[in-house]
Amino acid sequence: MDQAIMAIELYNVTWDFGALTFEDVVIVANTTSTSWCTGGGTNYNNAAVISMSSPTATTSGPATTCSIASIVFEYPA
């Protein structure tokens, strides 16, 4: 695993609903790698203004848990 994707996909409509906020995001992956969590995010085609708290990774046995306090899709770029 090298990424976890979160996206807003709009088809033939405008983004007129304000910011979309995810809080206390927890992703568990069956890998001991932590880079997919802590390696920094990618904003595909710079499609939106995004703010994200620093993720933390914890590995226990064969699984890694990635915890992110908040991810905010502010508005389209």
33-45 pLDDT per residue, tens: 999 999 877 888 8
pLDDT at 61 over 90: yes
pLDDT at 50 over 90: yes
pTM: 0.84
- For residue 53, the 8-state DSSP code is P
pLDDT at 15 over 80: yes
- Long-range CB contacts (within 8 A, 24+) of 32-35: 32/59, 32/62, 32/63, 32/64, 33/1, 33/2, 33/64, 34/59, 34/64, 34/66, 35/2
